[in-house]
Chains A and B, each alone.
Chain A
């Protein structure tokens, strides 16, 4: 078995003059969720389509599960599952027909295909859909069937291209739960997303992609450390005391959000900062609604990395 589940070195893909992949490097460890995060047009979908053998790269070394996507495409296809941005299903057929067809094309025998289709329908709560063609499914049902179709052979590597875009909160939670359970079973997942929260919730590592390259790659904690470590948030009961509190607190670099009655400051030593703040507030008789230590959010990281607030809003 190859050392890494996915190896991408200097991947290039050009459309006319536009460099969709411009020397992209990425290494994904077996059994982990690696999120690829970036704004629209950053190259996320091009990367997934290249990794899943749908698109031929112009250059670079790209291996999935130890097989080259160009020279060993079929070996790659045997080991992957793909959930694209748009439902890859036969709209005229029903759920069972779709799953049985895809199972047969994975070269499961007729009986095995029937059993597998029934299992997956049951697992994704689609057993009751009967003969209804996919064209009449709701968005959430379609997404679940699409996910089921990409899991027919328990793939070693699963690609999810913006799996929750366009889903309501319930649909999103369902997809997240499914991804967590897959990873629990040892599947390697590469997930693209525009949602920072999604990457934070699911991923072991996050690669920020922009203009066809990886800008930075690390664990969520490492990325958050990039902006300068932990922060302490203090919410007061009385907004009128904000000024007094700023002067009292044993921290520097305090930002004040009057609307939310919130003081926020970076801290070096978590515990001494926390106890110092609480003691100072008690001594001055200022009542706090909440005091909390936290890591910076990925929004703050993204803002820090790109230095461009508009891009972050687009991405979030």
Chain B
């Protein structure tokens, strides 16, 4: 570590923000896609197995959680693209803090996710969805969602460092959909066969979705999932954060 951890990280974060300014269209697509999914599942498909009552009320917190998990794709793509560009050699030959490249990436991705979450919340409100349970509970829910995103971010960075090339991201993109849907974001595990329901309940995504539903007073919320919604992401971080940082430091070995 150097005394320049913060300034280096800030410089790298500003680089990502400058990229946004250069390609606002790309950022916009990334923000609009989850909103599209929400509308599609909420109105086009319009229901999930075992969900009775207002489906949108059940779906919205689930889509929040799903969006956080799918953020992994964007992170992977950005990291692999950076690795294949010559600029990474310049960064690695500068006296900057080693991890600042990754910190910049994660700060920008977290910011994009926070903006995405705000946009989805706005759209959900326009559709008539309401958060119950007060501002404290609402902030708690946002905290849980961003914690999940942060964990998925470092999973994504690690996978990207292993994959190395943008083409390899496609394999992960194909895998993340079933993992995302194998949760309670769209349908309740009560209506599933026992073995599937168990797997679905263990999915970290389900834990976050259930805890968020509970905090927001939405359908499908159950008390007692808060600890799992915190422990899962922290566990993932404990594994993947050191792996990713170590792997980045060992580039070139």
Contacts and interface: CB of A to CB of B under 8 A. Distances in A.
Given A49-B252, A77-B95, A101-B11, A88 B19 contact: no
A257 interface: no
B20 to A, nearest CB: 10
Interface stretch (A104-112, A243-251, A275-283): A104-112
A113 B91 CA distance: 16
Contacts of A52: 93
Contacts of B18: 92-93, 97
- What DSSP secondary structure best describes chain B's contact surface? helix
B85 A91 contact: yes
Contacts of A87: 86
A93 B90 CA distance: 15
B89 A84 contact: yes
Nearest to B100: A105
Interface in A85-129: 86-93, 97, 101-102, 104-107
Interface string B86-98: 1111111111100
A82 B252 contact: no
B2 to A, nearest CB: 7
A102 B252 contact: no
B125 interface: no
A91 B88 CA distance: 12
Interface residues of A, number: 29
B4 interface: yes
A305 B18 CA distance: 52
A176 B60 CA distance: 62
A86 B86 CA distance: 6
A102 B22 contact: no
A181 to B, nearest CB: 22
Contacts of B96: 105-107
A191 interface: no
B86 A105 contact: no
Contacts of A86: 86
Contacts of B23: 92
A53 B91 CA distance: 11
B87 A74 contact: no
Interface of A: 49, 52-56, 74, 77-78, 80, 82, 84, 86-93, 97, 101-102, 104-107, 133, 149
10 contacts: A77-B94, A82-B90, A82-B93, A84-B89, A88-B86, A88-B88, A93-B22, A101-B15, A105-B94, A106-B96
Given A49-B252, A78-B95, A92-B22, 12 more contacts: A54-B252, A86-B86, A89-B87, A90-B87, A91-B87, A101-B15, A104-B8, A105-B8, A105-B11, A105-B91, A106-B95, A107-B4
7 closest residue pairs by CB, A with B? A88-B90, A105-B96, A88-B86, A77-B95, A86-B86, A78-B95, A104-B11
